[in-house]
Amino acid sequence: MKPQLIGLIKEAHGKVFEMQSRAKMVPVALALLLSGCGVDEGGAPPPGGGPTPTPTPTSTSTPLPPTTAVTQRVVTSFNTPWAMTFLPNGRLLVTERGGALFQVTASGSKTRVSGVPAVDASGQLGLHDIALDPGFATNSTVWISYAEPAPGGQRLAVARATLSAGSTPQLQGLFVVWRSTPTTTGGHLGARLAFSPNGQFLYISTGDRQQGSPAQDLSNTIGKMIRINLDGTPPIGNPFVGNFGAKAEIWSLGHRDPLSLVVAADGRLFSGEQGPNGGDEFNLITAGSNYGWPLVSEGNNPDGSPIPRHSTSSAFARPLVAWTPAIAPSDLIQYRGTRFSGWTNDFILTGLVQQGLVRVRVTGNSAAEVGRIGLGARIRALKEAPDGRIWVLQDGNPGNLVELTPS
């Protein structure tokens, strides 16, 4: 065979070998890449034994920069609104602290819902949160939290009722499922509601009623996170079940004024909490943990005198993020949509003092603030609409209901 031909054959064999080697490296590299991806808490690894799936091609387009400005559309207004939730038909239910509940259309038409129980609307108290039952599609049940008048003061009550829709909506068959103990006076009621992903449990935030020390006492439900079954009983897996003198419904303790609460996509529970003078907190809430109030704080006393920090004791769970000066967080969502570029899966807190939205990104067990949007008003509550827009409630009277879209 001629030398030139032999050379050409060797060169061709070399290229074939190189192509085969590269083809073998692709699945190996892909496997190495996937091995570095974590599994969400509560999730399961992919089953073994089956064929290797064909990788889905990924887009090579450059991601859009995060949304940094929004357009506000005022929908309607309320007298000191406190909370809202979307109905499956796109309408909203909005609570007013004074004790009124409204059904609202996207165009701003309001209809008052009857059957709301009597509330104590003194000071910071009144009608507070509202949430749809996990089985709302079949049972039309809604849950509300409110300050219930009682001898000696007030207590936080959590009730469920059937929402009768139509031109004259009303709450029917209202039943109080859980009450805080003891009855007392003061602000800082907490009163946020959040359901577990499986729909079996309800989490309730309770504040310290501006009394401080009860938050460290397991014999009461003041300054705590509560977890109950939907019939009001404590689940057997709660951390203080069987502890002599402890309230079995307690999930965590040492809370001052936890006005925001959300269960994330991975099943973990997060809260925003207002500090005494600075020291607002974004917390990952875990079973049995003590968050320190009033023994430690990232803020100071109202008179400026110092409070020991969380770092002074390993007995207390530290906030993932703390703010001084205060932002005064009052509500919280995890954004699941894509309309606001760069926000998907970030946590959005409302700011009463900050007068806008604060965006926090969680990575594992760490978190950091990644952006702010000023809205020019004290923001009491927010919710993500089914179409990915964000709706907010301004604090005060009038407190506008505002739809936000990216600018």
Tens-digit pLDDT profile for residues 83-122: 999 999 999 999 999 999 999 999 999 999 999 999 999 9
Q: 194 pLDDT exceeds 60?
A: yes
Q: Using one digit for the tens of pLDDT, what is the confidence trace for 342-366?
A: 999 999 999 999 999 999 999 999 9
Query: Percent of the chain at pLDDT above 70?
Result: 85
- CA separation (Å) from 1 to 9, 11, 13, 358? 11, 15, 16, 76
Residue type at 215? A
* CATH architecture of the domain with range 76-406: 6 Propeller (2.120)
Residues acting as catalytic residues: 188
Q: 257 pLDDT exceeds 80?
A: yes
Contact call for residues 127 and 119 (beta carbons, < 8 A): yes
- CA separation (Å) from 152 to 22, 74, 181, 182, 183? 77, 41, 12, 9, 6
Residues 11-33 have a mean pLDDT of 39
Residues 328-345 have a mean pLDDT of 98
Query: What sign does the dihedral 138-139-140-142 (CA atoms) show?
Result: negative
- pTM of the entire structure? 0.85
pLDDT given at position 167: 83
- Nearest-angstrom CA–CA distance, 383 and 390: 6
User: Residue 284, Cα to own-chain centre: how many angstroms?
Assistant: 10
Q: Using one digit for the tens of pLDDT, what is the confidence trace for 379-390?
A: 999 999 999 999
Q: 376 pLDDT exceeds 80?
A: yes
Residue type at 85? T
pLDDT given at position 64: 79
Q: Using one digit for the tens of pLDDT, what is the confidence trace for 294-303?
A: 999 999 999 9
CB neighbours of residue 188 within 10 Å: 24
Query: Percent of the chain at pLDDT above 90?
Result: 83
Contact call for residues 156 and 184 (beta carbons, < 8 A): no
Q: How confident is the model at residue 61 (pLDDT cuts 50, 70, 90)?
A: low
pLDDT given at position 165: 80
CB neighbours of residue 286 within 10 Å: 15
CB neighbours of residue 27 within 10 Å: 11
pLDDT given at position 88: 96
- Nearest-angstrom CA–CA distance, 111 and 169: 8
User: For residue 338, which phi and psi values (nearest 5 degrees)?
Assistant: -130, 0
pLDDT given at position 74: 98
Return the DSSP state at 8.
H
Q: How confident is the model at residue 279 (pLDDT cuts 50, 70, 90)?
A: very high
Strand blocks (E) in 133-169: 141-150, 153-164
CB neighbours of residue 155 within 10 Å: 22
- Nearest-angstrom CA–CA distance, 105 and 193: 23
Q: 391 pLDDT exceeds 70?
A: yes
Q: 27 pLDDT exceeds 70?
A: no
Q: Using one digit for the tens of pLDDT, what is the confidence trace for 146-182?
A: 999 999 999 999 999 999 987 899 999 999 999 999 9
- Nearest-angstrom CA–CA distance, 352 and 301: 19
pLDDT given at position 405: 98
pLDDT given at position 43: 39
Residue 304 or residue 53, greater confidence: 304
pLDDT given at position 62: 65
Contact call for residues 388 and 340 (beta carbons, < 8 A): yes
- Preceding peptide of 55 cis, ω within 30°: no
Residues 246-265 have a mean pLDDT of 98
- Nearest-angstrom CA–CA distance, 218 and 292: 13
